[in-house]
A and B are shown apart, each in its own frame.
Chain A
Amino acid sequence: MQHGHYREETTGVLSLARRSRPWEQAIQSFLFFCAAVSILTTLGIVLTLGTESWTFFKHVSPFEFLFTFEWQPMIERFGIWPLFTATFMTSLAAMLIALPLGLGVAIYLSEYAPNAVRETLKPILEVLAGIPTVVYGYFALTVVTPLLRNVFGQDRVDVYNTLSAGLVMGVLILPLVSSMCEDALSSVPNSLREAAYAMGATKLELSLNVMVPSAFSGIAAAFILGLSRAVGETMIVALAAGAGPNLTLNPFKAAETMTGHIVRISGGDIGYDTVDYQSLFAIALVLFFVTLGLNVLSRRIIRKYGEVYE
């Protein structure tokens, strides 16, 4: 500070009055603005999705959108169910892979693995989680799909199918599920573990009968968060699940998910202010609320049931 800037420096009398510090004020305002950007982002998402969907729903009734079973923008049929079932199929396959494998990995890492093994395995899992999803899409299309077609028959399995996309998506989500499950398992207090051993439980009985039930809330939260990832995942399904809405529950058939549809249509030439364009925002709105709901649920489970031991 420059000499003589404040009153006591010129008068020699200590003042207890609050100083005005414009620089500090300016910085604090800037920092507040930075924090507010996140609120503005949320507002932006809700507003853009909301307004475009609003114009869409003026054209197509929400009832038709949610409760009819055909999505053909060409002939103005906007029933979201074909996209919904495809998303359901890929997410189901993904969770069937990610949950058992993720939980198994978590149990192994937290209960069985020696320290050195754990320290090498965890970074490997992190690398798995850090690989771009488009690379997983490539893997699904060039490796998993041909494999499935060889195993189940060329004519039974389409070149694009929801199973292949879902399985690979499961591998993508596995690290997320395993790391959350491991956190949950390691937050179970040691006293429970010691009590189980004292009662003569084997390591397996400890893991399955004590640790997993005690960490159940964390495991459920991991599952739900993983599901939310699966629903919102785009590139794998865009490459491997197929292009074209298809109302089917057959995992060997091609079907387009909500995210896949958005990315395919918006990647082409599409005019603004057309119903096609607005319909994408309506799909995105559904997607937003589904994933938001899952995320909130996941955190609520942790908050409500997870604090028992802390």
Chain B
Amino acid sequence: MSSETASGAAPTFRTDLTGRYRRGNVWAALFLTVTLLSVFFLAALIWTIVNDSFGYVILVNETDPESLTRDGRPLEELDAPSLAAVLEENLPGRRLRSLGNERPLAERSREDLYAIVMDEVVNPEVKATFDLSESLLAKEDIRAVLERDFPEGRLIFRAWLNLKFLGAAQSSVAVAAGVRGAVLGTLMTILVTILVAFPVGIGAAIYLEEYAADNRLGRFIRINIYNLAGVPSIIYGMLGLALFVRLAEPFTSGTAFGAAADPTTANGRTVLSAGLTLALLILPVIIINAQEALRAVPGILRQSSLAVGATKWQTVWHHVLPASFDRILTGTVLAVSRAIGETAPLVVVGASTFLSRDPTSVFSKFTTLPIQIYQWTARPQEEFRRIAAAAILVLLILMLSLNAVAILLRNRIRAKKRLSR
């Protein structure tokens, strides 16, 4: 095993202890550096996201909101009819007609009208954005830029992640855009995924661990599951596209149930298809984790249950599952976190590129947070990078809270288990 005897013809003793220890220390420092480097990567990643989601912006309005006040009331406090009047005064006739064709101005809600006024009349244009470190450390430079290049502009400190961002729908203007639809889409998709993958995954694990004999079929299923866990996620997207979007279109679009009177429904590219695709994707991970959890249950528990006359299923349901449920839950949450962050398969399945309406049922068109992040990041304008960073923060917080809930739940189950013993 030692390289000394392997490399040298005659075995010699290396007595240069100081040199050897020095070399050892250098390498030890190297190993430590490498390890700290990976911690540094994580810190850099998180710092980048936070750094990009807050900071100064220079805004230049096309029309000054001050000039749009009516009867001494500022724009934000106007009611629907006066907002409609503002629109009629300021928009060209052609645009007014096309708005009216979509839906007459008089029938539109106040929020809707206000959004149109902000987008098309006030039209605040982001001329420059700055990140958090620049905003904190180089405020003078930013002011200089403002005075030199945009004398008519306003400098405001903007948290790109704010309540309005959470509550607003998608928009082609970065400052008005929000993630409401994407968050709803993510939650609905994940709900479908959990409802399918959780029971099926645990069922499969129970079958493999408790029922399947160690025969060729059982072994084949096991190997197959390990291989599935290694298939790239985008391939699951192709499967979902062919299977759920095209082949099972009547079901996934809801026409088979008579549910899809919704004209916005896009031929099978629905929340349901997305959720099912993700379910197939995380199924192997759930199965493998649940198998490990079941394997950790001591055999004596099963034997004593069977010995007093319980059937196999009674043993599993009343003894094996409760004893392993905390571990199963942990594994499932890991898998679900992965599903929340998945992007590629959903792009392939057909997430909508622009969705102004929220998803209302599983048969609605969908978009999710990661897809929103992808689309915003891919745009060249700086301000879209900013809202992408803000959306990443929302996504990370969502995943974090899911994990926190799961940990709390697991601890409660563990506490109960200890009590019952």
Contacts and interface: CB of A to CB of B under 8 A. Distances in A.
Interface of A: 21, 23-24, 27-28, 30-39, 41-42, 44-45, 48-49, 52, 100-101, 104-105, 107-109, 112-113, 121, 124-125, 127-128, 130-139, 141-143, 171, 174-175, 178, 192, 195-196, 199, 201-205, 207-210, 213-214, 225, 228, 231-235, 238-239, 259, 262-263, 266-267, 272, 280-281, 284, 287-288, 291-292, 294-296, 299
B344 A238 contact: yes
A143 B101 CA distance: 45
B85 interface: no
A128 B43 CA distance: 10
Contacts of B201: 34
Contact of A132 (B207, B208, B243, B342): B342
A45 B399 CA distance: 29
Given A48-B243, A292-B227, A231 B232 contact: yes
Nearest to A172: B41
A128 B42 contact: yes
Contact of B230 (A36, A52, A192, A292): A292
A37 B224 CA distance: 11
Given A38-B225, A132-B341, A104 B208 contact: no
Nearest to A170: B41
B94 to A, nearest CB: 27
29 contacts: A28-B207, A31-B206, A34-B202, A38-B287, A44-B242, A48-B238, A52-B242, A112-B31, A124-B42, A128-B38, A128-B45, A132-B340, A132-B395, A134-B374, A135-B49, A137-B377, A138-B385, A141-B377, A142-B52, A142-B377, A171-B38, A174-B38, A204-B23, A204-B24, A205-B24, A235-B374, A262-B238, A266-B347, A288-B231
Given A38-B224, A41-B283, A263-B348, A139 B45 contact: yes
Contacts of B256: none
A242 B158 CA distance: 31
Contact of A138 (B21, B243, B373): B373
B173 to A, nearest CB: 21
Given A42-B227, A109-B35, A178-B38, 16 more contacts: A28-B313, A35-B203, A39-B221, A39-B224, A52-B242, A121-B35, A128-B42, A131-B45, A204-B20, A234-B344, A235-B370, A239-B378, A266-B241, A291-B230, A292-B230, A295-B226
B28 A203 contact: yes
Nearest to B312: A24
A233 to B, nearest CB: 7
Given A24-B311, A135-B373, A239-B374, A202 B234 contact: no
A281 B239 CA distance: 10
Contacts of B3: 209
Q: How large is the interface on B (under 10, 10 to 19, 20 to 34, 35 or more residues)?
A: 35 or more
Contacts of B397: none
A208 B20 CA distance: 13
B235 A42 contact: no
* 7 nearest A-B pairs in the assembled complex, by CB-CB distance: A232-B232, A132-B341, A34-B203, A104-B34, A234-B344, A204-B24, A31-B207
Contacts of B200: 34, 37
Nearest to B341: A132
Given A34-B200, A134-B343, A204-B24, A266 B283 contact: no
A74 to B, nearest CB: 21
Contact of A37 (B206, B239, B283, B377): B283
Given A121-B35, A267-B353, A299-B226, A134 B41 contact: no
A226 to B, nearest CB: 11
A137 B230 contact: no
B155 interface: no
A133 B373 CA distance: 11
Contacts of A199: 2
A100 B200 CA distance: 39
A138 B283 contact: no
